[in-house]
Structure 1
């Protein structure tokens, strides 16, 4: 028999890996991380079991521990995710983009990030911190709304029609009065983004945060990621234009660095 039936599949699973995946699932749901005590309570497992799992995962950079003792998803997962969501197994997008993000944030003074889209929505794959006062902090591993934000809209705009329609058929949450929750209005915005070649967040995810995003393309021209620069609302028009052009230039530079 070439295939194992679903009914008998459980006979061939490894319980410790199942528990490890349960730990990762809980950490994915908690942006602020979770302590061993919290994971023990959430999963109803012995403390020693949880400790051994997170200690092993930490050794492989699959999770990391912060100064408060909380565990978070690790950078190794981002590297793995870049191969899956980008569909380009030869390219580690996070590693490729990081020097460009660092240079961009050092020059523009604002934080910058690289986002991708997968079956769960928008994932921040890599980020760099800005040096200006009040520069916004961004972090790899964050999940963002599919329809609210510059990078989110840009990635949504470049999906195949059937995939885009599937996302637009889901409930669209209004995070602020600027959020586009009507599928027809959002579709009009997505069409405009494809025509312009960049996207703008006017405070759709948080009232005080705006952003510009530009596409990162592989050598075939397919959009594989979005580079975005978030900034505080209230910036002067000249500053906004500076940020927009910087995002476009940096995204183009990463695209040109993609291997053939």
Structure 2
């Protein structure tokens, strides 16, 4: 095995350390060396290599991320299979809570149910995968509208269904819409990508008999935990929700 081959993985890790530093904010060479522990000659060599491929851009004040990462980010976002990532979280939610767990995405003025994991209660809510509903008519749809409160309102300005739990974490509305309609209680939470954009909603739904109001905070906490874990799986910084 050649010396060059053995040193390769270490160089890759060091280059990725530099990119991680620049993900937070632009940095000078001195601060890069101080934060990563990389010696100045090695850091300079790695930055030049990253710059040659467009991953880093040097300026008169230091280094910042390069345009190549924009292309990478857009390609990653396009290739993410949200439903495949959501499935284990839905299964875990239904096991922990006993409720049917579901996922929905926005399609214009509608929310489409794209996945579900059945609950464990004898009385089940059976929303079919593929079914669509007006965004404002369900908790799942209203969770998708949490960043657009004007769209969540009816034409008269009222928000439908008054039983709402809302938590604000990290300056963003994160959870939760709760509704009790015709004996069905639904709770929903948005899932945000690395940019903070809502890309999906996770929800719990079941017979109101199994979800008295005293259980709502616990159900909301389980849902928020699942959403945070899914966000981490699609690249969102975990500190964004703290």
TM range (shorter): 0.5 to 0.7
Once the two structures are TM-superposed, the CA of residue 157 in structure 1 deviates from its matched residue by 2.5
- Aligned partner of 2:82 in structure 1 is 93
Residues 169-198 of structure 1: per-residue CA shift (max 9 Å, x gap): xxxxxxxxxxx74441229x8xx9584521
Please list every run of 5 or more consecutive structure 1 residues that lacks an aligned counterpart in the other structure. 1-86, 169-179
For 1:118 and 1:227, the matched residues in 2 are separated by 15
Give the whole-Å Cα distance in 1 for the aligned partners of 2:157 and 2:166: 14
1:3-61, Cα deviation, whole Å (9 max, x unpaired): xxxxxxxxxxxxxxxxxxxxxxxxxxxxxxxxxxxxxxxxxxxxxxxxxxxxxxxxxxx
Residue equivalent to 1:115: 104
**d(CA) in 2 for partners of 1:183, 1:127:** 33
Change (3 A) 1:202 1:112: same
Partner residue, 1:216 = 191
Q: Answer yes or no: is the 8 Å Cα contact 1:158–1:194 preserved in 2.
A: no
- In 2 relative to 1, CA 193–240 (structure 1 residues): closer, same or farther, beyond 3 Å? closer
Q: What's the secondary structure of 1:219's corresponding residue?
A: coil
5+ long unaligned stretches in structure 2: 1-75, 237-242
Calculate the TM-score normalised by the size of structure 2. 0.56
**1-structure distance, mates of 2:214, 2:221:** 11
Change (3 A) 1:199 1:118: same
What TM-score does the superposition give when structure 1 sets the normalisation length? 0.52
Q: What residue is the counterpart of 1:228 in the other structure?
A: 203
Q: Which has the higher strand share?
A: 2
Taking only aligned residues, the RMSD between alpha carbons, in angstroms, comes to 2.8
**Number of residues of Structure 1 aligned to a counterpart in Structure 2:** 154
Contact 1:149 1:201 in 2 (8 A): no
Instruction: Choose from 126, 129, 135 the match for 1:140.
Output: 129
Larger Rg: 2
Instruction: Check 1:202–1:208 CA distance in 2 against 1; reply closer, same or farther (3 A cut).
Output: same
DSSP 3-state at the match of 1:130:
coil
The reply to whether residue 238 of structure 1 matches residue 214 of structure 2 is: yes
